[in-house]
Amino acid sequence: MAKKLIGIDRRSVLKLAGGVAVTGLGVRSFPMPAIAQGAPVRVGFMLPYTGTYAAIGKTIENAFRQNVAERGDKLGGRALEFVQVDDESDPTKGPQTMDKLVSREKVDVVVGTVHSGVQMAMVKIARESNTLLIIPNAGVGAATGAMCAPNIFRTSFSNWQPGFPMGKVAWDAGHKRVITFSWKYGAGEESVGGFKEGFTKAGGTIEAELYLPFPEVEFQSYLTQIAEKKPDAVYVFFAGGGAVKFVKDYAAAGLKKSIPLYGAGFLTDGTLAAQGEAAEGLQTTLHYADDLDNPVNKAFRENYVKRYGAEPDVYAVQGYDAGALLAVGLDAVKGDFKARDAMLKAMRNAKLDSPRGPMSFSAAQNPVQNIYLREVRKGKNALVRIAHQGLADPGVGCKMT
Ligand code: PHB
């Protein structure tokens, strides 16, 4: 649906569920149904609906809506209305796009985004305007580090979190010299940083760190360098459309058989249908695996498939938990956003029964969660074992005011 609407004007602000439609041309109002418990809570989705992360954005929104629907379409007794903006994963447009939601749309809460660079602009504005911000993906360390704030929560991960445990996994598999490869921006650099920390602590050596600009996908010259240097293994951070192409190119270059490929789990999450055989057997670390054996995960997956006709992935889990976290806050204050301190306190202390397993929040309001080693088996990210139980990001530089 977003795709069709975005076809009209992809930079437009979109409103789907009655109330207000905001387009590049201005704001139009429609009659609203009378709502017993006061005005609906205004939720602004700031996500990528176009570009290499487009599918990720839509999946997050889908699962957030699923969570709200499972609660009878109300949180803390209040209905919700949604506004969407496409951030295009373009950091240069981040401030303006976020400002549209905060100043013009006057949303109560922003849910977004995917790209770490765009996230930084959002975090800055959320701090200045004291807008409640729930981050459903982007892992940029500063959001729950030096730029942390009581009104900023993350239901996904820090970029360091999936990377760090993979260092030990790779060392334990017998690899001594590894080349890393990623897009050159916050997420890639921090993910590689996490891996490097874990791998070198265990005794390994990073032979080379290769980077290409985001969101380029001309991998060939880098694959040639890898083939020439013959490391014991390769660690990568790629996600979305870029991850699909990378995994296929790595296999097509004949490297998959000779040089084991590892990555943060985004490499194979939400991408497997398109990657096919090229992804089979790849091992990655992430805070989710498709077959986690808990009742919440089973029900979540079943309902997602029913609603959307597609298998959910880690991004769906993160969007779903963004809904769950907002529910904790609004339930605690019976939908009264003005009871802000009590709402934020309830969110900070939330213990979520997530499809990913148990999840709580660090002092910097980043998830404390298991990181799983997974392996692609028959088109699924299957659980191998817990790589690191209850891992908390160190939250360096966070001083809550
Ligand atoms: C990020 O930019 O922080 C990012 C993007 C996509 C992912 C993970 C992290 O899958």
Residue 40 DSSP label: P
The whole-angstrom separation of Cα 135 and Cα 110 is 8
User: Quick one: which of 321, 367, 381, 248 has its CA closest to 59?
Assistant: 321
| Residues within 6 Å of ligand 1 by CB | 53, 114-116, 137-140, 159, 187, 239, 266
pLDDT for residue 4 is more than 50: no
Give the model's pLDDT for residue 401. Answer: 77
Nearest C-alpha to atom 8 of ligand 1 is from which residue?
138
User: Quick one: which of 117, 115, 163 has its CA closest to 137?
Assistant: 115
Inter-residue contact 48 to 86 (CB < 8 Å):
yes
Give the model's pLDDT for residue 32. Answer: 42
Tokens representing residue 321 in the block? 């938990």
Query: pLDDT per residue over 186-234, tens digit each?
Result: 999 999 999 999 999 999 999 999 999 999 999 999 999 999 999 999 9
| Band of residue 37 on the pLDDT scale cut at 50, 70, 90 | low
Phi-psi region of 309 (alpha: psi -120 to 50; beta: other; left: phi over 0): left
Q: Give start and end residues of each alpha helix (H) in 130-239.
A: 160-172, 186-202, 220-229
| Band of residue 132 on the pLDDT scale cut at 50, 70, 90 | very high
Inter-residue contact 348 to 361 (CB < 8 Å):
yes
Q: What is the whole-number distance in angstroms between the Cα of residue 362 and the centre of ligand 1? A: 20
Residue 365 DSSP label: S
Q: Which of 52, 89, 115 to mutate for ligand 1's pocket (most ligand atoms within 8 Å of CB)?
A: 115
Sequence letter at residue 342 = A
Q: What is the whole-number distance in angstroms between the Cα of residue 211 and the centre of ligand 1? A: 15
Q: Which of 114, 238, 267, 318 to mutate for ligand 1's pocket (most ligand atoms within 8 Å of CB)?
A: 114
Query: pLDDT per residue over 231-271, tens digit each?
Result: 999 999 999 999 999 999 999 999 999 999 999 999 999 99
| Band of residue 11 on the pLDDT scale cut at 50, 70, 90 | very low
Q: Give the mean pLDDT of 94-105.
A: 98
The whole-angstrom separation of Cα 73 and Cα 80 is 7
Inter-residue contact 191 to 237 (CB < 8 Å):
yes
